[in-house]
Structure 1
Amino acid sequence: MSATDPLTTADGLPLKRALMRAQRSARWRAFVLVAPLLLFVVVTFLVPIGQMLHRSVHNPAFPANMPALTEWFRATPAGTSPDDRAFAALAADLKQAAANRTVAIVGTRINYDLPGTRSLFTATGRRAAALAPPFRTALLEADARWGDPALWAAMRNASSAYTPGFYLSALDLTRGNDGTIERVPEQRRVYVPLFLRTFGLSAAITGLCLLLAFPIAHMLATLPLRWSNLLMILVLLPFWTSLLVRTTSWIVLLQQQGVINSTLVALGILGDDGRLTMIYNQTGTVIAMTHVLLPFMVLPLYSVMRTINPAYVRAARSLGATSWTAFRRIYLPQTVPGIGAGALLVFILAVGYYITPALVGGASGQLISNLIAFHMQDSLNWSLAAALSALLLGAVVILYWLYDRLIGIDNMKLG
């Protein structure tokens, strides 16, 4: 064999081809091993998110049950006043929907955009068979609201199965009679203030968790192992206790006739008529959720602090740095990955929390997740619930992106 001959394997296959074949075989084996987990993630995570995003822009209830009126809307520009042909199409669709028992479905769809109109559709649907030409007069005699331009604008918006209307509603926006986007009246602005409240309370909870968790994690990281393990059990104890039990315990502690108020009155700190209101408001939500989420801040901080060599701080102090300077310049920067991971984890969990705000939050302590649950379970406006969920998901993704830009996702330490 000369020096210029290509290298081959024992069976005469060129070495380069043999290496490529081996790498390809290794990749296939790795894919087969990962495939079950990948399939699980796709089925249980990606597919539901995709369905949610689709539901947030898709609602075929009106065009599927009002085809003639939908066709009139398609043939006329936005802002066109309804003519005799439009009223004839409306009457024909109402008769067919009444025969198919789908009038309530149509009324519910319009009621999402214009509250109070479901009864209009159901009442007229019961008398639809008696409607006769001229249909404009017949419908206006049945109910004068059939001439309301706002109603026709709502029906036009609902005539398309795919619509951004639910995202507009989730941002307290609406389409005017001429199709322009405008803000809803101030007394109907619900979702944007609730989003702001959710992010504000979540940030406050994250800050409180950081203030409480930092000294706890530092103590766990510096104590001897047998003592730190014992204290770690106390930190993890909430994980082993039912969330419902923990939340109801806070109700007992925080209510006006509860343990904390009664103790303060007994010590003379408060008068009996000056008991604090700490439950069924934002205070109760913050206190209870801080307790629930505190371990999620302690564990990332502990995992980082455990690896910090104490000799660094001692060296800084031996070179003349004060305790505060050594902490600020040497110790604290090394804990940033744990702080970032804990803050990100607690904030994301807080914005999506549902049970604790529902039990202790009252009217002022509810979060956006409680309203999403309301639309899913009570109002059955799944499209609006999906739009609210999509906006919340988008905010979390933006937060994740900001964390990656500021700290770097590779520096995240979760324990």
Structure 2
Amino acid sequence: MGTFGEYIKSALSSIKNNKGRSFLTMLGIIIGISAVLTVLVIGDGMKETVNGEIDSMGATTISVNLNTTKTDKTFDQDSINTIEENLKNIYGVAPSFSAWGYVKGKTKQFEISINGTSEAAKEGGSVKMVHGRYFTKADVDECKQVCVISQMAADYIFGYENVVGKTIELTFDDRTSEFTIVGVTENTPMDIAYGSYSQDPSLMGSAPYTSFAKAFNWNVDNFTSITIYLDSEYKNDVLMQARSVVENVMSLRGENAVKISSGYGIDQTSETILNIITSVVAIIAAISLLVGGIGVMNIMTVSVTERTREIGIRKSLGARTSSILVQFLAEAAILTFTGGIIGIILGLSLAYLICSVIGFSFVVNPLLIAIVVAISTAIGLFFGIYPAKRAAKLDPIEALRTE
């Protein structure tokens, strides 16, 4: 009957002669593809945005805890320094402890949580300075009684925000000590959550673990947990080496007494949840693709009915059954492929607009685009099979009798 190029040419000619019907046929595919693609792109942007927020809220820390039921060993300053020296691609290591006490304000006393840490916490990505500075390594090494507090804490205690240079009285375990404020940090979601209780707000701050422990007579060489601060880029590498380094330094190899945890678990959990949400919404949107495919089959069936006499003439002139089949399949594939391309353009445009409005990252996966194009073409082939087979199996004599 002819080459494959002739089949394509014939299919394009049929589509051109029925522009309105062809557009309506493609419309279902366009809506379906654009809906699915919009959902998936927004889903990817949401995942990247959420994971970025998690990183900024402390996903760049790794916690190391000693199981006190399996060992009586603890971290001291020498072991902490040795661990820090043997780990690559980290900002630093600090003991992990916080304590709840009280701070004296102008007119009343407030509950406050002080996090004892080192200068490495500033580099970990979860601290943003608004006024002043964070405490330094020298502050830690020299046990200087300095601290940083949140914006909310400054407002409650002093009535205004820039309180750098002021001193506060901290009371823990019935011991009171003065600390000089060297910096004010930007409010975190935790600061806002704890400080929002109008009747009895709880405030947040940080101080060098050495000076904090010394001021309140706590043993600086008796910690059961430490925090490793690092860039999220190296998180997996540090996770792989952390256990081995800690077990070697603490002589705990084989005792299963070291527990490693990090924001990585949060990343995985959040991504799993977001993937489920995106998948469910995408499946719902994909229903429109099914509707669009049924529309293709319906229109192609009508086309076969309208062109029955033409098919009879071609078969009587020697056209093979396979030629008729390929022609109608080509027509269905072209309709859905074209609809898919238009749907991709529309879907990406809608996704970009929505991501811009709600503040999500705009992330486009080229593999996703290729899959969408393949799906749209496959839909045309799948739903075009029935009318194509029907056309190919027509008896030429019966077809010629059709008015």
TM-score under structure 1 length normalisation:
0.31
Per residue, is there more strand in 1 or in 2?
A: 2
Higher helix share: 1
